[in-house]
């Protein structure tokens, strides 16, 4: 009797421990419903946004898509309505789901946190995100602290009516900063002023490198994998040697059949962009000032030089910088 009791207890402890170890997240639906009540929004309302990294991150070691399905069903937010956005994160990053109301910019952020849902209720109103004090302790103060910059910038860009291709660029870059904005403006400058003729293709030489590269990929479909985007970091010394003002990159327009093309060196004027907002503005608030200029690339981007390309020059610009395997000692003499 005594022995069987011990076995029973051992088994019970084992089952209990195993259950704890493999505990799945509880259903998110009631948490979402509560958030909607807090924000006073209803399903049919397009004026609230759902922003999540559910398409990128794993939850309990599994795809987060089933959770996203519940979120979509409970909120009614869908991509086609423009009120469901995603942001990129590493697969082991915690799941975040934010509900954000346009009118007063209040937000409820739900985070996966050790088999439970952690909920932050706050606002990203201009007054809040423009206050440097808010950002000082935000990382530690909120469960979603590490993603607050991402969530605040994307939500405010959406609330300010930023174009969808800008929001898509921000999804990939996972935040909005003056650097990403410069890439978006450059991409549209190129599309506006240098539309491709028949048989032509773009190669963007993005050098020096800053956040802008992610906008070229989304707006222009010029990606490194398809060789449409060549990303070349430069040393300070290399940067100083560039002879054009505010160098931001080059676009090469190449005709493979005719074996000739045109190169355009572009300048980006950060002084004008940063001149749009007061000096002490936190980075997260800059989008509040720059959003209305996203359709005015000519205000910030200019042509520093145009030049003709032959095949030797085209290849030399794309391939310049030497073979990276050489300094690694992995080439034969
Ligand atoms: Zn950035």
Is the domain of 311 the same as that of 182?
yes
CA–CA gap between residue 242 and residue 232 (Å, rounded) = 14
Span from the CA of 210 to the centroid of ligand 1 (angstroms)? 7
| Cα 6 to middle of ligand 1, angstroms | 59
Compute CA 104 distance to the chain's CA centroid, rounded to the nearest angstrom. 24
Residue 56's pLDDT is 98
- Alpha-carbon distances of 314 from 19, 73, 87, 205, rounded to whole Å: 62, 51, 35, 11
In total, how many domains does the chain have?
Answer: 2
- Token readout for 121 is 């209720």
Of the candidate ranges 7-21, 107-121, 184-198, 203-217, the one whose mean pLDDT is the lowest: 7-21
* Tokens linked to 117: 């849902």
Residue 144 sits in the same domain as residue 194:
no
Q: How far apart are the CA of 173 and the centre of ligand 1, in A?
A: 7
CA of 176 to the centre of ligand 1 (A): 6
Q: Is residue 8 part of a domain?
A: no
Is the pLDDT reported for residue 151 higher than 80?
yes
Q: Is residue 169 part of a domain?
A: no
For the domain that residue 54 is a member of, what is the CATH number?
3.30.1330.20
What spacing in Å lies between the alpha carbon of 68 and ligand 1's midpoint?
26
Q: Are residues 240 and 127 in the same domain?
A: no
- Cα separation, 29 vs 31, in Å, equals 5
Q: How far is the CA of 316 from the centre of ligand 1 (A)?
A: 29
Q: Are 232 and 154 members of one domain?
A: no
**Is residue 245 located within the same domain as residue 197?**
yes
- Calculate how far, in angstroms, residue 254's C-alpha sits from the geometric centre of ligand 1: 29
Q: Give the Å distance between the CA of 149 and the centre of ligand 1.
A: 11
Among 103, 126, 159, give the residue marking a domain's end: 159
List, for residues 225-278, the tens digit of each pLDDT value: 999 999 988 888 888 888 899 999 999 999 999 999 999 999 999 999 999 999
Which among 159, 188, 204 is the end of a domain?
159
pLDDT band, residue 18 (cuts 50/70/90) = very low
Q: Are 76 and 44 in contact (CB under 8 A)?
A: yes
In 3D, which of 295, 290, 297 has the Cα closest to residue 176? 290
**251 CA to middle of ligand 1, Å?**
21
Tell me, in angstroms, the distance from the centre of ligand 1 to residue 89's CA.
14
Ligand 1: distance of its center to the CA of 110 in Å?
24
Ligand 1 centre to CA of 175 (Å) is 6
On whether residue 166 sits in a domain, the answer given is no
Res. 324: pLDDT tops 70: no
d(C-alpha 189, C-alpha 173), whole Å: 20
Please tell me the distance between residue 181's alpha carbon and the centre of ligand 1 in angstroms: 9
Burial class of residue 240 (count of CB atoms within 10 Å of its CB; 0-12, 13-18, 19+): exposed
CA distance 284 to 240: 30
Instruction: Looking at the structure, tell me whether residues 153 and 193 fall in a common domain.
Output: no
**Same domain, yes or no: 108 and 200:** no
Task: Say yes or no: 184 and 153 in one domain.
Answer: no
pTM of the model: 0.90
CA of 180 to the centre of ligand 1 (A): 5
Q: Is residue 285 part of a domain?
A: no
Please give, one letter per residue, the 3-state secondary structure of 86-148: ECCCCCCCCCEEEEEECCCCEEEEEEEECCEEEEEEEECCHHHHCCHHHHHHHHHHCCCHHHH
In three-state secondary structure terms, 76 is coil
Using alpha carbons only, how large is the chain's radius of gyration in Å?
25
**One domain for residues 41 and 153:** yes
Same domain, 147 and 183: no
Q: Judge whether 116 lies within some domain.
A: yes
Which residue range forms the structural domain that includes residue 238?
Answer: 178-278+295-318
Nearest Cα to Cα of residue 273 among 145, 188, 181, 164: 181
- Ligand 1 centre to CA of 169 (Å) is 11
For residue 184, the CA-to-ligand 1 centroid distance in Å is 12
């Amino acid at each position: 009797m005594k022995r069987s009791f011990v076995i029973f207890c051992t088994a019970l402890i084992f089952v209990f421990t195993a259950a704890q170890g493999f505990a799945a997240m509880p259903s998110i639906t009631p948490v979402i419903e509560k958030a909607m009540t807090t924000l006073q929004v209803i399903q049919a309302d397009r004026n609230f946004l759902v922003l999540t990294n559910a398409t990128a991150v794993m939850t309990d070691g599994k795809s987060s898509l089933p959770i996203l399905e519940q979120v979509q069903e409970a909120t009614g937010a869908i991509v086609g309505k423009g009120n469901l956005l995603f942001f990129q994160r590493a697969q082991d990053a915690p799941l975040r789901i934010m509900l954000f109301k346009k009118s007063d910019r209040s937000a409820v952020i739900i985070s996966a946190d050790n088999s439970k849902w952690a909920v932050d209720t706050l606002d990203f109103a201009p007054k809040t995100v423009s206050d440097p004090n808010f950002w000082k302790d935000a990382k530690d103060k909120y469960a979603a602290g590490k993603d607050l910059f991402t969530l605040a910038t994307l939500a405010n860009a959406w609330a300010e009516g930023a174009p969808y291709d800008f929001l898509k660029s921000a999804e990939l870059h996972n935040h909005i900063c003056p650097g990403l904005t410069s890439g978006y403006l450059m991409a549209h400058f190129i599309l506006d002023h240098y539309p491709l003729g028949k048989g032509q293709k773009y190669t963007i030489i993005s050098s020096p490198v800053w956040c802008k590269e992610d906008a070229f990929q989304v707006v222009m479909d010029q990606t490194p994998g398809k060789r449409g985007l060549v990303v070349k970091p430069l040393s300070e010394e290399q940067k100083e040697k560039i002879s054009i003002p505010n160098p931001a990159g080059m676009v090469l327009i190449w005709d493979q059949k005719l074996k000739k093309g045109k190169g355009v060196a572009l300048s980006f004027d950060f002084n004008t962009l940063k001149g749009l907002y007061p000096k002490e503005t936190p980075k997260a608030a800059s989008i509040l000032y720059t959003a209305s200029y996203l359709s005015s690339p000519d205000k910030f981007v200019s042509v520093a030089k145009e030049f003709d390309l032959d095949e030797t020059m085209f290849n030399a610009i794309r391939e310049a910088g030497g073979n990276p395997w050489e300094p690694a000692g992995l080439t034969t003499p």
